[in-house]
Amino acid sequence: MSLIVDEEEKLRIQNELSVHYKAILELLGEDSEREGLLKTPHRVAKAMQFLTKGYSEDPEEVLRSAMFQEEDYKQMVIVKDIDFFSLCEHHMLPFFGKAHIAYIPKKYITGLSKIPRVVDIFARRLQIQERLTMQIKDCIQRTLDPLGVMVVIEAQHMCMQMRGVEKQNSLTTTSDFTGFFQQAKTREEFMNLIKHQR
């Protein structure tokens, strides 16, 4: 029942977005009635709904759905090179790259495939890279309560590259951590493991 209502609501919003995108095309000097653009407002509306669908998903629930007790494993669990695509909240232009995540379990472990899903959920919202990094860290810390968690994100920002503000191909790196990762040695171990083979 509520699923049908959600689907109806999604379509209603899609139509409303399309009206606005049509107006935007015209304000940008385009002829919104020309053939190539006829369906564009609707396509953009759908694309934007997809790219921001993280708002309606619960990342903690995703982690909990595959959480199990594991008392003995106290080594670093690492998921590296997680591709992500997000939109910067200042320009609504893409920023994208790779996330690398490590945690040291205390009592709970989660399915490895759940970590990239958490990245996706936070990335599919309007973001800034620093907050994306922090939110992933906080989510894992709150849900799995590990001895420590560390998140490193490397990204390219189209709002800088396309507008020529910064060097092309420049990477912005952010990191955040808790617990055992406050020790430089633990951080180093993780950083060495995610180093690129260039």
Shortest distance, position 152 Cβ to Zn ion, whole Å? 20
DSSP strand E in the chain: where? Answer: 67-69, 77-88, 94-104, 108-110, 126-127, 148-157, 172-177
CA separation for the pair 95, 123 (Å, rounded): 9
The residue range among 7-15, 26-34, 35-43, 152-160 that interacts with Zn ion, by the rule CB under 5 A, is: 152-160
Report CA 120 to chain centroid distance, whole Å. 4
Shortest distance, position 93 Cβ to Zn ion, whole Å? 6
CA distances from 164 to 121, 158, 169 (A): 29, 9, 11
Residues in 77-116 that interact with Zn ion by CB under 5 A: 88, 90-91
The residue range among 5-13, 145-153, 155-163, 182-190 that interacts with Zn ion, by the rule CB under 5 A, is: 155-163
Active site residue 100: no
Shortest distance, position 52 Cβ to Zn ion, whole Å? 15
Q: Which of 7, 8, 33, 90 is catalytic?
A: 90
* CB-based contacts of 63, cutoff 8 Å, min separation 6: 110, 114, 118, 139, 140, 143, 144
The answer to whether residue 39 forms part of the interface with Zn ion (CB under 5 A) is no
Active site residue 91: yes
* CB-based contacts of 11, cutoff 8 Å, min separation 6: none
Shortest distance, position 92 Cβ to Zn ion, whole Å? 8
183: part of which helix (H) or strand (E)?
Answer: none
The answer to whether residue 158 forms part of the interface with Zn ion (CB under 5 A) is no
The residue range among 18-26, 115-123, 126-134, 159-167 that interacts with Zn ion, by the rule CB under 5 A, is: 159-167
User: What tokens does 13 get?
Assistant: 């919003």
- The residues binding Zn ion (CB under 5 A) are 88, 90-91, 159
Catalytic residue IDs: 88-91, 129, 157, 159
